[in-house]
């Protein structure tokens, strides 16, 4: 799914010759609707409106355990092939953890999942959930429920389980423990977080315009800390709502 989506985005960008500036960090926004200046670490850009579609992968939720900063411990995941034949530990119970566990298992890794809860999250994609449940049931993927990581060593980790501490072989560790949106960037764009537990950025659901007039939100970033609310499948309409609102402003002017 991920590879297909990225391929699709790349082809769309090429087909429409979209001007994309890669490896350029946005730092702040100045001005107001109709006369914004977006400042990056390389240049500045003038624009009438701004759309923020940064997702929620900027800041990983850390485990805060000894050994987490080692080179073989990852909070981001690319592909499974380098880990063929290796003992791999996946920490987490959501979509990212499940995808990593299944891909590595199918590419020949010896996979163990460490899961804090008593079961996988029921927000796991419905077409994937039976797959991972069956792999765990048959023992193809090992899973330690009601467990947490105490310490990560060079070739193994210590997990606190209902049966006491267990040492698990771990040449590679994927801490798929979730992420946070870049609230620092949202704050720099004068987009206020809500008072709810998810700190949902303030925006109009009918237009996707944020509290900062002329600045719009699209995609997963709209959910704040509730990162399971929006996916590719249910946020496609955001673009249509934004374009419709901007077009209406142009007509009025």
The model's pLDDT over 112-133, given as tens digits with 9 standing for 90+, comes to 999 999 999 988 989 999 999 9
Mean pLDDT of 145-150: 98
CB atoms within 10 A of CB 124: 21
**pLDDT at 253 exceeding the cut of 70:** no
Mean pLDDT of 188-200: 94
Domains along the chain?
Answer: 21-60+192-224+234-253 (3.50.50.60), 73-175 (3.50.50.60)
What pLDDT shows up at residue 1? 63
Tell me what the pLDDT averaged over the chain comes to: 94
Contact 235, 243 (CB under 8 A): no
What is the band of 229 on the pLDDT scale with cuts at 50, 70, 90?
Answer: confident
Question: Strands 110-114 and 87-91: what pairing?
Answer: parallel
What pLDDT shows up at residue 178? 87
Q: Which two tokens stand for residue 141?
A: 């993927």
**Beta sheet of 172-175, edge-to-edge order:** 73-74, 172-175, 87-91, 110-114, 142-144
Q: How large is the C-alpha radius of gyration of the chain? A: 21
Residue with tokens 């624009």: 47
**pLDDT at 217 exceeding the cut of 70:** yes
What is the band of 239 on the pLDDT scale with cuts at 50, 70, 90?
Answer: very high
**pLDDT at 230 exceeding the cut of 90:** no
What is the per-residue pLDDT across 29-58, written as a single tens digit (0 to 9) for each? Answer: 999 999 999 999 999 999 999 999 998 888
Tell me the whole-structure pTM to 2 decimals.
Answer: 0.74
Specify the DSSP class assigned to residue 104. Answer: H
3-state SS class at 41 = coil
What pLDDT shows up at residue 144? 98
Question: Which contiguous run of DSSP H or E holds residue 237?
Answer: helix 237-252
């Amino acid at each position: 799914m991920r590879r297909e989506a990225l391929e699709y985005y790349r082809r769309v960008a090429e087909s429409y010759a979209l001007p994309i500036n890669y490896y350029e960090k946005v730092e702040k926004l100045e001005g107001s609707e109709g006369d914004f200046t977006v400042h990056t670490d390389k240049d500045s850009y003038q624009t009438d409106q701004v759309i923020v579609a940064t997702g929620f992968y900027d800041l990983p939720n850390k485990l805060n355990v000894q050994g987490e900063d080692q080179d073989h411990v990852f909070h981001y995941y690319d592909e499974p092939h380098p880990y063929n034949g290796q003992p791999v530990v996946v920490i987490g119970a959501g979509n990212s953890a499940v995808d990593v566990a299944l891909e590595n298992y199918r590419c020949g890794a010896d996979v163990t999942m460490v899961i804090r809860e008593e079961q996988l999250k029921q927000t796991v994609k419905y077409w994937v959930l039976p797959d991972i449940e069956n792999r765990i049931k048959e023992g193809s993927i090992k899973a330690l429920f009601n467990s947490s990581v105490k310490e990560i060593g060079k070739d193994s980790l210590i997990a606190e389980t209902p049966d006491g501490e267990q040492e698990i072989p771990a040449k590679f560790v994927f801490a798929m423990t979730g992420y946070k949106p870049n609230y620092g960037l949202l704050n720099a764009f004068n987009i206020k977080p809500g008072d709810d537990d998810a700190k949902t950025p303030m925006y109009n659901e009918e237009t996707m315009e944020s509290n900062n007039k002329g600045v719009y939100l699209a995609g997963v970033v709209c959910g704040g800390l509730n990162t399971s609310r929006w996916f590719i499948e249910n946020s496609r309409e955001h673009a249509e709502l934004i374009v419709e609102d901007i077009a209406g402003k142009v007509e009025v002017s």
